[in-house]
Amino acid sequence: MSADSPDGGEELRRTVEEVLLGGGRHWTRHDIVERTGVGPERTAQIWRALGFPLVEDDVRAFTDGDVDALRAGERLIAAGIITEESEALMARALGHHLSRLAEWQVHTLWAWLNRGRETPLTQPELASRAAVLLAELELLQQHVWKRHFAAYTGQVIATAQADAARKETPGAAPSPDGTVPQGEGLHVQDLAVGFTDMVGYTRMTRGLDSTELVKVLDRFESLTGDVVAEGRGRVVKTIGDEVLFVCDSASTAADIALELTARAEGEKRLPHLRTGLAHGPVLGRFGDVYGAAVNIAARLTAVARPDTILVNTALAGELSGRAAYELKVLRPVSVRGYSRLRPVLLRPAGSPRGRGR
């Protein structure tokens, strides 16, 4: 019996729910309210924020795991870590990021279970293999999350210690990359923002089948992810043919952009890349970034030529006088939201003059 058959699919669904949701669905919305003390309006708001459609009051759609999660939220509120006003924002951020991860994992699992076999898996085999795989995925996911949590905690502590040291030094300037708290889930910080995209991506996709397109996207994500991580930046998100990353300093972002350009030039499977960089105050909100620097970096990418890097004047000022870089101020350009945006061409020191504009 394969996973495509009705009986096999139902058994697999039940196994997934037993393993991941802490048991079967045997609670209604009214039951959830009674067992947690969280009002019906709040439970509905949280459920929608997580990305799930509301169900009728008498439908048994909730599990013991849902009850435990709501109780955990109540404990966070009681501890003063979040408020009732911000819990929906947190739920929306968790739902947005984790739903994308779950979608990828489900497609991977389904492809594995349906991979061509001489003898289809039996219903018990489907269920047992899914249970093993889900447990391993959960373990890996939890470990990677903990590693990232520890890494970002270390960064925040280091920044706080540096700011404290500056305040104790008479006449010291404030930290250029200090974090200014703006409320739960929010912070403003001076960062370097980078956008890198593949030139001619839309035209290229017309001549590729789905398998070839996946290979190009995989290679792009692998290259950008490796270079950004090696350079101590952070990938915020990848959207199709474009990656958004941030760095604590202008020089870090410049080095990453130059390395990306150099490596991509030797990649036969990738089209040319171009990058826009900007430096300035950036609002961080639940893992995403906003602000003028983000917008300017995107606009600079759109007007950059293949194999070039354009930066804003603020980032160029941070790099000025450093022997590793060459900077060339270009003519102002008119882009959406900025009538006279002045790009600066960034090149490695000693690069041929023919490159760029």
Residue 208 structural domain: 179-348
CATH of the domain at 219: 3.30.70.1230
Task: Report the pLDDT value the prediction gives residue 172, as an integer from 0 to 100.
Answer: 47
pLDDT digits (tens), the chain, 357 positions: 444 554 556 766 777 777 777 678 889 999 999 999 999 999 999 999 999 999 888 899 999 989 999 999 999 999 998 888 888 888 998 998 899 888 988 887 777 776 766 777 777 777 777 778 888 888 999 999 999 899 888 877 887 787 777 676 665 444 444 454 455 556 788 999 999 999 988 888 888 888 888 889 999 999 999 999 999 999 999 988 999 999 999 999 999 999 999 999 988 888 999 999 999 999 998 788 999 999 999 999 999 999 999 999 999 999 999 999 999 999 999 999 888 999 999 999 987 765 444
Please tell me whether residues 105 and 189 are part of one structural domain.
Answer: no
Number of domain units in the chain: 2
Last residue within a domain, chosen from 127, 148, 169: 148
- Map tokens 């990232």 to a residue: 148
Please tell me whether residues 18 and 143 are part of one structural domain.
Answer: yes
Please tell me whether residues 326 and 197 are part of one structural domain.
Answer: yes
Task: Report the pLDDT value the prediction gives residue 77, as an integer from 0 to 100.
Answer: 92
Pairing of strands 234-239, 288-290: unpaired
DSSP 321: T
Q: CA 36 to CA 71: how far, in whole Å?
A: 6
Last residue within a domain, chosen from 148, 164, 197: 148
Task: Report the pLDDT value the prediction gives residue 169, as an integer from 0 to 100.
Answer: 62
Last residue within a domain, chosen from 148, 170, 187: 148
Please tell me whether residues 133 and 186 are part of one structural domain.
Answer: no
Task: Report the pLDDT value the prediction gives residue 206, as an integer from 0 to 100.
Answer: 82
Please tell me whether residues 35 and 100 are part of one structural domain.
Answer: yes
Task: Report the pLDDT value the prediction gives residue 300, as an integer from 0 to 100.
Answer: 98
Residue 213 lies in a domain: yes
